[in-house]
């Protein structure tokens, strides 16, 4: 049996997050069925919203359940596919969480081209943080000539 590793939320943090709030698990590599893909995640994004999801309180998103794989944006590569939209070797962006390998039905995956842009950039400058900055600047701030912007 081949195994893979994942990190789950073991407890809700009180104050600062610590390693004690997480648990590393070794699990069997998932077997895919028709319509699914198996992804080997290469990078994950650590974003501020994750801290809020660790709380058991009302917010814009549901709290992360204890004992589940930590949420988070990921980029990786398809290593097995039974989904006609994806081929082995495709690079994808998704929300697979803190796991080396995950299964997806493909609905929340987006293929990306790594010819000129490194895979990791899809979690940064050309990913959610970059898009947030771009929309904030061009759609909300809408800077005018002679204005100074400090980042």
Q: What residues does each domain of the chain span?
A: 3-141
Quote the mean pLDDT of the chain. Answer: 93
Q: What confidence tens digit (pLDDT) does each residue in 68-94 have? A: 999 999 999 999 999 999 999 999 999
Homologous superfamily assigned to 3-141? Medium-chain alcohol dehydrogenases, catalytic domain (3.90.180.10)
pLDDT reading at 151 higher than 80: no
pTM: 0.86
d(CA 52, CA 49): 5
Using DSSP, state whether 138 is helix, strand or coil.
helix
Query: What phi, psi does 22 have (nearest 5°)?
Result: -125, 160
């Amino acid at each position: 049996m081949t195994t893979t590793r994942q990190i789950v939320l073991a407890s809700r943090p009180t104050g600062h997050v610590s390693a004690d709030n997480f648990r590393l698990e070794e699990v069997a590599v998932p077997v895919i069925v028709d319509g699914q893909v198996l992804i080997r995640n290469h990078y994950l994004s650590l974003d501020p919203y994750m801290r809020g999801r660790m709380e058991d309180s009302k917010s814009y998103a549901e709290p992360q359940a204890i004992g589940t794989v930590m949420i988070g944006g990921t980029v990786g590569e398809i290593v097995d596919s039974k989904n006609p939209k994806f081929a082995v070797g495709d690079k994808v962006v998704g929300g697979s969480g803190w796991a080396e390998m995950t299964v997806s039905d493909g609905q929340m995956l987006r293929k990306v081209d790594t010819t000129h842009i490194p895979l990791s950039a899809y979690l940064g400058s050309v990913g959610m943080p970059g898009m947030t900055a771009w929309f904030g600047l061009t759609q909300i701030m809408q800077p005018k000539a002679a204005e100074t912007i400090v980042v």
